[in-house]
């Protein structure tokens, strides 16, 4: 719980309205200094509300439609009057954009005398100790990793931050990174010989001293749960906390306020126990024989489920399942390994570290399905299992994060700003409010300044089968092809599943060849998100197919994107164990799980996907939603009323005509230029 007193105070009796009007006005510093800047009433009003919340150390929920300019609307009052500010964003990409572009711009324009720091999770920073250890041991799985390791060894000599995002030659998902970065478990702390040069410690120290610190939601909530990111030391002195992309908070907070332990962690521990035992206490035990039963038990636990991918609550696992026996075997074999590590721990610091990790992992596994303790009630959380191709995770997830999050907000008053383009359902914030426990807090919506009626169409094709029918994915492709051809490519196809991404990619490739459509195809998984988007923009007539990671945080302005196709309404899978438990809990309180949870979640997701299409005043395009439930179901009206106010049609001819006129207009503009 946060109880320390902030280091600087905010004047709670001041109105900054006049200053905000001047800053955002037609003769103000933003208009005079930023190319293309135009005053927007919604942006000015939002900035006033943020300034008032900061001055009064209050909470504000601020939904601002695409094009409002919400980033400048919260940064301006935060940099001028926010005291010590923490800005938390939805993704690392947005975090970098704020730190490298948006904050420096506002700081320069306003001449704000603030220092700014960027803080990421420790996995983003090179670790001197683990790099040296990997260079010496050379346990690399591929020739590619050997090359990457050479690049990293050169990079560490020149970097001042140690942030791996600066080394673009090595892909972010390269396996070598896990060998040259630390985790909370593998960090040596102040005992490390490189402690004075540690990039993680340097980043935390800079954040301590800065006026504005940029973090992301994962980091923020990981710290609240694990006390391992440096936020714990920052929060007590913060006067203002701003969450951008706040609609992501419930899911992120659920992830970190829950507990997860995986067989991958166990196998990683076994690898380290073997290496450290052989290095420092070869005569202390038969190390290979010691770790073998633990490794076998961890793999057997995964093999208890023959399917490729599994998500089951503990209640859905049959009592006779081999899973429970395998779990007991893993606990017993880990106890045997810990007993040996206890005897050998004094031989080396790294063996002691392995012992501490083993005890912590064993405790997590024991606690997973132990009897509830103290005030904790069984109904407060759901136990579930998630199996991937080679690993298995044990999850313990709270049904509601509201009480936990509210505890974090208790204590000394400070301003809490929650902002996003998609927090409300038709101006109703109750879904987000109930998830986060933000009852009775002021909430405002500022609509987008875009003229959606003129700038685009919402197209729901006629004759589509029900989404659960076998031929639905094929029907989406058939309906999409003539519209893509009319648009000249320039398309996002946003799918609700990876299976649909794969199917659509194969079918489009076939059909493009058959019909002579020369549109470059970009498919999620063929390259990283940033690279795919760069290639899509450069192509000018591409078709990009992606799932959840392309539904939000993606900005393609101009002609390169003129058509966004959404295959299905994005309802969560009904067999999701956490969702099922939440619906059961809601229905016990007399609420309707579909109306009060699944529908608003789907609407917020859909608003994000739809928001990819129109990114500025000159954009034109079509949002095509293939799902017939938008028209046929009673709840469909509530969904489309929450979407931008496009002109609506069900006729393909209207869409083809729209693109023909658009093509003529663009050609005319190019000719005149």
- Report pLDDT digits (tens) over 295-339: 999 999 999 998 877 899 998 999 999 999 999 999 999 999 999
CB count in 10 Å sphere of residue 21: 14
What is the spatial order of strands in the sheet that 381-387 belongs to?
Answer: 259-262, 392-398, 381-387, 310-313
Q: Which of 171, 130, 137, 178 is nearest to 151 (CA)?
A: 171
Return the higher-pLDDT residue of 642 and 575. 642
Q: What confidence tens digit (pLDDT) does each residue in 386-396 have?
A: 999 889 999 99
Minimum mean pLDDT range among 32-36, 138-142, 435-439, 605-609: 138-142
What residues contact residue 213 under an 8 Å CB cut-off, 6+ apart? 85, 86, 87, 116, 117, 118, 119, 207, 234
Task: Classify 437 in phi/psi space as left (phi over 0), alpha (psi -120 to 50) or beta.
Answer: left
Q: Give residue 502's pLDDT.
A: 96
Mean pLDDT of all residues in the chain?
91
CB count in 10 Å sphere of residue 35: 4
- Kindly tell me the number of DSSP H helices and DSSP E strands found in the chain: 29, 18
Give the burial string for 425-446 (b: 16+ CB within 10 Å, else e).
Answer: beebbebbbbbbbbeebebbbb
Residue 37 to residue 28: CA distance in whole angstroms: 11
Q: Are 162 and 199 in contact (CB under 8 A)?
A: yes
- pTM, two decimals, is 0.87
The pLDDT of residue 671 is above 80: no
The pLDDT of residue 672 is above 60: no
Q: Give residue 298's pLDDT.
A: 97
What residues contact residue 374 under an 8 Å CB cut-off, 6+ apart? none
Question: DSSP letter at 556?
Answer: -
Q: Give residue 286's pLDDT.
A: 93
CA-based angle 420:422:426, to the nearest 5?
135
563 band by pLDDT with thresholds 50, 70 and 90: very high
The pLDDT of residue 8 is above 80: no
Entry field: residues in the chain: 673
The pLDDT of residue 446 is above 50: yes
Residue 617 to residue 279: CA distance in whole angstroms: 64
Q: Give residue 475's pLDDT.
A: 98
Q: Give residue 5's pLDDT.
A: 35
Q: Which of 491, 494, 495 is nearest to 519 (CA)?
A: 491
Percent of the chain with pLDDT over 70: 94
Q: Are 259 and 364 in contact (CB under 8 A)?
A: yes
Percent of the chain with pLDDT over 90: 74
**DSSP letters along 568-608, please?**
S--PPPTT-HHHHHHHHHHHHTT--HIIIIIHHHHHHHHHH
User: What residue ranges define each of the domains in the chain, with the CATH number in brackets?
Assistant: 17-120+199-252+400-446 (3.40.50.300), 259-398 (1.10.275), 452-672 (3.40.50.300)
Return the higher-pLDDT residue of 403 and 545. 545
Residue 202 to residue 196: CA distance in whole angstroms: 8
Q: What confidence tens digit (pLDDT) does each residue in 60-97 have?
A: 999 999 999 999 999 999 999 999 999 999 988 889 88
| 35 token code pair | 């190319």
The pLDDT of residue 257 is above 90: no
Residue 613 to residue 419: CA distance in whole angstroms: 20
Average pLDDT over residues 515-522: 96
The pLDDT of residue 110 is above 70: yes
377 band by pLDDT with thresholds 50, 70 and 90: low
Residue appearing with tokens 């997973």: 368
Residue 335 to residue 396: CA distance in whole angstroms: 22
Q: Are 584 and 395 in contact (CB under 8 A)?
A: no
| 68 token code pair | 């409002």
Q: Give residue 3's pLDDT.
A: 33
10 band by pLDDT with thresholds 50, 70 and 90: low
What residues contact residue 291 under an 8 Å CB cut-off, 6+ apart? 270, 273, 274, 337
**Distant-in-sequence contacts of 636-642, Cβ < 8 A, 24+ apart:** 638/425, 638/426, 638/599, 638/603, 639/569, 639/599, 639/602, 639/603, 639/606, 640/458, 641/426, 642/425, 642/426, 642/603, 642/606, 642/607
CB count in 10 Å sphere of residue 541: 17
240 bridge partner residues: 85, 415
Host H or E run for residue 87: strand 85-89
Q: Are 159 and 166 in contact (CB under 8 A)?
A: yes
Q: Give residue 289's pLDDT.
A: 95
State residue 516 phi and psi, 5-degree precision.
70, 30
Residue 253 to residue 247: CA distance in whole angstroms: 11
Q: How far is C-alpha 252 from the chain's CA centre? A: 7
The pLDDT of residue 376 is above 70: no
184 band by pLDDT with thresholds 50, 70 and 90: confident
Query: Residue 562 to residues 34, 115, 476, 571, 662: CA-CA distances in angstroms?
Result: 27, 40, 18, 25, 10
Average pLDDT over residues 138-146: 80
36 band by pLDDT with thresholds 50, 70 and 90: confident
Q: What confidence tens digit (pLDDT) does each residue in 565-621 have?
A: 999 999 988 778 999 999 988 999 999 999 999 999 999 999 999 999 999 889 999
């Amino acid at each position: 719980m946060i109880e320390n007193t902030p280091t600087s105070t905010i004047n709670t009796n001041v109105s900054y309205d006049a200053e905000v009007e001047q800053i955002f006005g037609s003769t103000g510093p933003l208009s005079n200094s930023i190319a293309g800047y135009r005053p927007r009433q919604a942006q000015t009003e939002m900035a006033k509300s943020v300034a008032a919340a900061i001055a009064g150390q209050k909470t504000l929920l601020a939904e601002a439609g695409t094009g409002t300019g919400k980033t400048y609307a919260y940064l301006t009052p935060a940099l001028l009057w926010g005291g010590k500010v923490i800005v938390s964003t939805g993704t690392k990409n947005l975090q970098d954009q704020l730190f490298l572009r948006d904050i420096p711009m506002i700081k320069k324009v306003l001449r704000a005398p603030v220092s700014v720091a960027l803080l990421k999770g420790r996995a983003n920073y090179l670790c001197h100790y683990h790099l040296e250890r990997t260079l010496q041991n050379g346990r690399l799985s591929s020739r590619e990793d050997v090359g990457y390791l050479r690049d990293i060894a050169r990079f560490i000599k020149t970097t001042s931050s140690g942030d791996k995002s600066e080394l673009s030659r090595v892909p972010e998902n390269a396996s070598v990174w896990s060998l040259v970065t630390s985790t909370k478990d593998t960090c040596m702390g102040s005992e490390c010989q490189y402690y004075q040069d540690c990039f993680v410690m340097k980043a935390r120290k800079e954040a301590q001293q800065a006026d504005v610190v940029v973090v992301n939601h994962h980091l923020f909530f990981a710290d609240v749960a694990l006390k391992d990111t440096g936020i714990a030391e920052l929060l007590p002195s913060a006067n203002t906390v701003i969450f951008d992309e706040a609609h992501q908070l419930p899911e992120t907070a659920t992830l970190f306020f829950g507990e997860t332990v995986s067989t991958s962690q166990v196998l990683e521990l076994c690898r380290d126990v073997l290496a450290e035992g052989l290095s420092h206490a070869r005569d202390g035990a038969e190390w290979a024989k010691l770790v073998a039963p633990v490794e076998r038990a961890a793999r057997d636990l995964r093999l208890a489920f023959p399917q490729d991918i599994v998500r089951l609550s503990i209640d859905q696992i049959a009592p006779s399942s081999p899973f429970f026996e395998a779990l007991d075997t893993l606990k017993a074999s880990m106890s045997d390994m810990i007993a040996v590590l206890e005897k050998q721990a004094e031989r080396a610091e790294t063996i002691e570290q392995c012992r501490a990790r083993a005890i912590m992992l064993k405790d997590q596994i024991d606690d997973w399905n132990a009897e509830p303790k103290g005030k904790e009630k069984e109904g407060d959380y759901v136990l579930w299992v998630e199996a991937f191709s080679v690993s298995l995770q044990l999850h313990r997830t709270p049904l509601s994060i509201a009480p936990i999050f509210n505890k974090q907000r208790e204590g000394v008053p400070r301003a809490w700003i929650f902002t996003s383009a998609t927090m409300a359902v038709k101006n109703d914030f109750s879904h987000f409010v109930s998830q986060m426990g933000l009852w009775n807090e002021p909430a405002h919506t500022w609509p987008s300044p875009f003229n959606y009626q003129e700038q685009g169409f919402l197209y729901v094709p006629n004759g589509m089968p029900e989404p659960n029918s076998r031929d639905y994915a094929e029907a989406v492709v058939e309906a999409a092809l003539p519209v893509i051809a009319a648009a000249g490519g320039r398309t996002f196809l946003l799918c609700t599943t990876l299976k649909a991404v794969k199917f659509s990619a194969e079918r489009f490739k076939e059909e493009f060849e058959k019909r002579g459509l020369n549109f470059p195809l970009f498919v999620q998984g063929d390259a990283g998100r940033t690279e795919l988007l760069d290639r899509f923009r450069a192509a000018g007539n591409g078709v990009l197919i992606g799932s959840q990671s392309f539904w939000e945080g993606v900005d393609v302005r101009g002609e390169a994107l003129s058509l966004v196709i959404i295959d299905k309404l994005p309802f969560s899978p009904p067999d999701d164990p956490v969702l099922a438990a939440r619906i059961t809990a809601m229905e016990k309180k007399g609420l309707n799980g579909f109306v009060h949870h699944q529908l608003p979640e789907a609407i917020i997701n859909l608003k994000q996907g739809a928001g990819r299409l129109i990114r500025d005043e000159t954009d034109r395009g079509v949002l095509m939603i293939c799902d017939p439930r938008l028209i046929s179901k009673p709840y469909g009206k509530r969904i489309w009323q929450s979407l931008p106010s496009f002109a609506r049609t069900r006729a393909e001819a209207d869409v083809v005509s729209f693109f023909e006129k658009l093509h003529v207009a663009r050609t005319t503009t190019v000719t005149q230029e």
